[in-house]
Amino acid sequence: MIEALKPLRSPLFRLGAVLLLFTLQRVLFLVLNAPTFPAPPLAAFLGGVRFDLSAIAWLYLPFIVVSLVRPDARGTLGVVQKSTFHLSNLLCFFLNCTDLAYFNFTLKRSTADLFGIASGGNDLAHLAPVFLRDYWYVVLIFLGSMLLAEWAYRRGRSDGTIIRPWWPWRMVMVVAVVLASRGGLQYIPLSVLDAGQYAPPAYMPLVLNTPFTVMTSIGKPVLVERTFMPQEEADRRWPVVHRYGDSAVVRTPPNVVVIVLESFSAAYSGLLNGTGQGYMPFVDSLMGQGLAYTDAFANGRRSIDGLPAIIASMPKMMSEAFITSPYATTPFTSLPAVLAAKGYRTSFFHGGHNGTMGFDAFAGAAGFQRYVGRNEYPEPNDDDGVWGIRDVPFLQHFARQLDLEQQPFMSCVFTLSSHHPYHLPEAEARRFAGGTQPIHPTLLYADDALRRFFATAATKPWFRNTLFVITADHTADLERDGQESGGAFDHWIPLIYYMPGTLSPRLEHRTTQQIDILPTVLDLLGHRDPFFAFGASSLRHERPGAAISEGNATWLLVEQDLQIRSDGTEVRWTTGRGPGYTAANISDVPEQRKAEAQRTLQAAIQQFNAHLLHHELTVK
């Protein structure tokens, strides 16, 4: 068998040399950008090998295919083999070497939009001589890499003997390429945010390589500058830099616990839907004990959109989720990162399989110091067989783990049992049977799991010094009762700020959204430093209460009295929400009021696009 694998020696030696050159280029990347990476962790280099292998498996695929025909070809096929090898070298080494210098300007690995920037106008033709002069050493590094690759190609030549049988080494090579290309056996292929598993957010560019970030961003939606108004007006209508601290509600630094409930729509709250009939009785009871919002909205329709909105004030304003977008490596503001800088211990808990929806990668990028998923949960028998650990045992585990945390702590837990396929164990299925939708029993189960969590938490010494934020990631399986799709109803969620003995209970009717959670929490805590957030504190009047989201290449704005959907230039759909405005008499809404709503939405779009494009998601 070992003899049958001998043909692999030639392609593996050549590709191994490329892998070594990627690593050397990463070392040079560190050396040339040393002030940005003052204390690089060793894991950044070890994890970087995983990303290098993925890029090589994809971008050297033509060479690999020819090598499958004959590992060390001669004649015409040999020319093709060598040409494909060096064409891949040319592309990959050029991209890596470009960022040796370009990174200093952008502080991120380049993505596919690099080609659009380079080809815009005549700038490239004008600046190329300047770049070649100022960064002559980068040219030498590139040429040196190509020469070393040529040496490795020649050094990898075999004696040309054909070894049979042919299938063992070919099968091994195919399997190795498939595994390397997707980055391993995890649930979803490797993404840029997975770099957060190996290094803090500031060091993620060191883990990555530019061929990988460009390759994975090709075909992804790239934002374009949208200038609807002077920047001063956009800042006034939709401010993104905030500074509070003048009226802290909580004087002693409290713990902060964010609870994200899977698929909890406000339509299934007996308190919020106005019928008294619902499927979240405990959540309804909490609304009577804390600051609860009756007009709160999710910024997206998927968990992968909800988490960045809640934790990082990042709305779903483009067709691609932020977590998987080309902009995910841009340093961004997040609640755990802000609080960690104030001495908080931070952690993220999700009972799902590690890697699900990229939550573990996002948690690392957001600055959570600890991630607890299914892999870290001690009792495998509590697995539901589909998504992960059931809510009742996992929330009890969460409460016990908080007992071990050093205070003050900031932690987030994300439930999962109320996610399709809505599977409950037989006993719980009988206990929570009822309703008209398959989701209803699982909502009751998850609500009861939350009740049990708070019963346990109330016995803990940290309970009364903890600010709890309870909300949902998005809605699901709605009973519409005539409600149109694509509007506010599809995004309507519960939102509660609860701190027993500190926050006075009240129902607040102001329109708010997930991205307002980060600034509202910082406002409650009396955070004094300026910070960046697309949302705004719901305790203040920096701008009118509103909620935004994107879908089907249009944007939705929800305000107290109406909602509009626009393509940015033209309003495509309008519906009144107040008692005086209904779908039947929407024509009675003054045109000036519609125009004002459109202007607010345009300000939000302009701010979102500009700040992502210019990598300005933090306060300098």
DSSP secondary structure letter of residue 334: -
Quote the Cα angle for 316-322-326, to 5°: 135
Tell which residue, 366, 371, 312, has the closest CA to residue 347.
371
Average pLDDT over residues 547-573: 89
| Distance separating alpha carbons of residues 376 and 385, to the nearest angstrom | 16
| Distance separating alpha carbons of residues 603 and 597, to the nearest angstrom | 10
Those residues whose C-beta lies under 8 Å from the C-beta of residue 346, and which sit 6 or more positions away, are: 336, 339, 340, 367, 368, 369, 370, 409, 410, 411
Residue 3: CB atoms within 10 Å:
7
Tell which residue, 503, 551, 493, 473, has the closest CA to residue 317.
551
Average pLDDT over residues 138-148: 97
Q: Which two tokens stand for residue 437?
A: 């939708």
pLDDT per residue as tens digits for the range 309-322: 999 999 999 988 89
pLDDT per residue as tens digits for the range 464-514: 999 999 999 999 888 867 666 678 888 999 999 999 889 999 999 999 999
Tell which residue, 355, 259, 348, 358, has the closest CA to residue 304.
358
Answer whether residue 285 shows pLDDT above 90: yes
Q: What is the full DSSP assignment across 218-283? A: TTS--------S-HHHHHHHS--EE---SS-S--S--EEEEEEETT--GGG-TTTSSSS--S-HHH
Tell which residue, 163, 424, 144, 391, has the closest CA to residue 259.
391
Q: Which two tokens stand for residue 56?
A: 């090589």
Average pLDDT over residues 86-106: 92
Which stretches within 120-159 are classed as H helix? 123-134, 136-155
Q: Which pLDDT does position 113 carry in this prediction? A: 64
| Distance separating alpha carbons of residues 611 and 242, to the nearest angstrom | 15
Looking at per-residue pLDDT, the higher value among 579 and 178 belongs to 178
pLDDT band at 552 (very low <50, low <70, confident <90, very high): confident
Fill in the amino acid letter for 81: Q
Q: Which two tokens stand for residue 585?
A: 């008499």
Q: Which two tokens stand for residue 527?
A: 């955070």
Average pLDDT over residues 574-582: 68
Q: Which two tokens stand for residue 490?
A: 């599809």
pLDDT band at 1 (very low <50, low <70, confident <90, very high): very low
| Distance separating alpha carbons of residues 51 and 42, to the nearest angstrom | 15
| Distance separating alpha carbons of residues 143 and 329, to the nearest angstrom | 28
Torsion angles phi and psi, residue 332, rounded to 5: -135, 160
Q: Which two tokens stand for residue 48?
A: 């970087």
Alpha carbons within 13 A on the beta-carbon side of 559 = 18
How, if at all, do strands 409-414 and 345-350 pair? parallel
Q: Which pLDDT does position 120 carry in this prediction? A: 47
pLDDT per residue as tens digits for the range 174-211: 999 999 999 998 888 998 878 888 988 778 899 999 99
Q: How far is CA 463 from the centre of its chain?
A: 30
Fill in the amino acid letter for 575: T
| Distance separating alpha carbons of residues 446 and 599, to the nearest angstrom | 40
| Distance separating alpha carbons of residues 451 and 283, to the nearest angstrom | 8
Q: Which pLDDT does position 167 carry in this prediction? A: 67
Average pLDDT over residues 238-251: 82
Average pLDDT, the chain: 90
| Distance separating alpha carbons of residues 131 and 413, to the nearest angstrom | 48
Those residues whose C-beta lies under 8 Å from the C-beta of residue 421, and which sit 6 or more positions away, are: 386, 438
pLDDT band at 387 (very low <50, low <70, confident <90, very high): confident
| 3-state secondary structure (DSSP) of residue 295 | strand
| Distance separating alpha carbons of residues 196 and 359, to the nearest angstrom | 11
- Is the distance from CB of 493 to CB of 265 less than 8 angstroms? yes
| For residue 11, cis peptide bond before it (omega within 30 degrees of 0) | no
DSSP secondary structure letter of residue 505: P
| Distance separating alpha carbons of residues 521 and 532, to the nearest angstrom | 14
Residue 60: CB atoms within 10 Å:
24
- Residue recorded with tokens 């729509």: 265
Distances (CA, A) of 201 to 28, 53, 63, 153, 338: 20, 21, 34, 36, 13
Q: Which two tokens stand for residue 508?
A: 């607040």
* Least confident segment among 122-136, 302-316, 321-335, 447-461: 122-136
- Is the distance from CB of 241 to CB of 531 less than 8 angstroms? yes
- Is the distance from CB of 263 to CB of 250 less than 8 angstroms? no
Q: Which pLDDT does position 579 carry in this prediction? A: 57
Residue 473: CB atoms within 10 Å:
26
| 3-state secondary structure (DSSP) of residue 286 | helix
- Is the distance from CB of 496 to CB of 469 less than 8 angstroms? yes
Distances (CA, A) of 187 to 87, 198, 236, 600: 32, 18, 43, 40
Burial class (CB in 10 A: 0-12, 13-18, 19+), 357: buried
Distances (CA, A) of 579 to 341, 539, 586, 589: 45, 24, 11, 12
What pTM was estimated for this model as a whole? 0.81
Q: Which pLDDT does position 118 carry in this prediction? A: 57
